[in-house]
Structure 1
């Protein structure tokens, strides 16, 4: 059986990191990409607040946000920000997997909806569907980027 408070705090930790990362993404993008970053920031902030309330209501102590987070790579341009946003969505999705296995059906539903939202946001940043393990690899094709000449999207195999 999965520990409910542990699953909630794991998801909360991911949301804390996502809020931080989206601040970086927003600072390195403009126009429609910045609007998308602001929407992602607000969505993760709302989930973070919801998780804090759920943990407290169950008698737990919500984890606190770090003052800063180490980014997986330098984010100096819009293309880097796009890669970071896509990676963040992948990692937050993974963090909700444990919560999707708890006994409480309402928390399983919350986890499933959160993962769906992350998958949709992530696809918006990087419209590529990863190959499932054991399936033939897809031929690499052109990937969209925020600006011409920016970094390619991050691979899910990292």
Structure 2
């Protein structure tokens, strides 16, 4: 058992617990095709949660149970905000799996990469536009102009 890998699995499990809580709320407050997408996301996260629990247990760890409630960054009062929250959730899940991608166990790295791919795809489906270059990683600050560019008036 690699204790560091188990801790990474626990962090991914915590992200899945939080996502399930939020998708349960979102699914109950949406309708039509958006609700169908929220339900599909809920099912996908439930499957990942169950897999993570199994990975932790087989490595001798004890999976954490979900909290009774999770704080949301905002309360979605309409479909647009529900989709925005769903994209935000998927970004958080991606970040948790990004850490798991550094596991020593090669099979966990592969698992994390696939989970990130799914989360990024879901996030993109909830918001229009181009996804970030490296989903799950903090955005880089824009480069500051070079001194010669400032002098030249660029």
Q: TM-score, normalised by structure 1?
A: 0.81
Who is 2:150 aligned against? none
Who is 2:54 aligned against? 53
1:111 and 1:28 map into 2 onto residues whose CA distance is 30
Pairs aligned (count): 136
Who is 1:133 aligned against? 140
- 8 Å contact kept, 1:2–1:102: no
Structure 2, gaps ≥5 residues long: 134-138, 144-154
Deviations 1:9-64 (CA, angstroms, capped at 9, x unpaired): 00000000001111111122111100000000000000000000110000000011
Who is 2:151 aligned against? none
Who is 2:76 aligned against? 75
Who is 1:111 aligned against? 112
For the residue of structure 2 that corresponds to 1:60, the secondary structure is: coil
For the residue of structure 2 that corresponds to 1:103, the secondary structure is: coil
Structure showing greater Rg: 2
The alpha-carbon deviation at position 76 of structure 1 amounts to: 2.0
Q: TM-score, normalised by structure 2?
A: 0.83
Bigger shift: residues 72-81 or 27-36 = 72-81
Larger fraction in helix: 2
The alpha-carbon deviation at position 133 of structure 1 amounts to: 1.9
Distance 1:5 1:37, change over 3 A: same
Q: What RMSD over aligned residues (CA atoms) do the two structures have, in Å?
A: 1.7
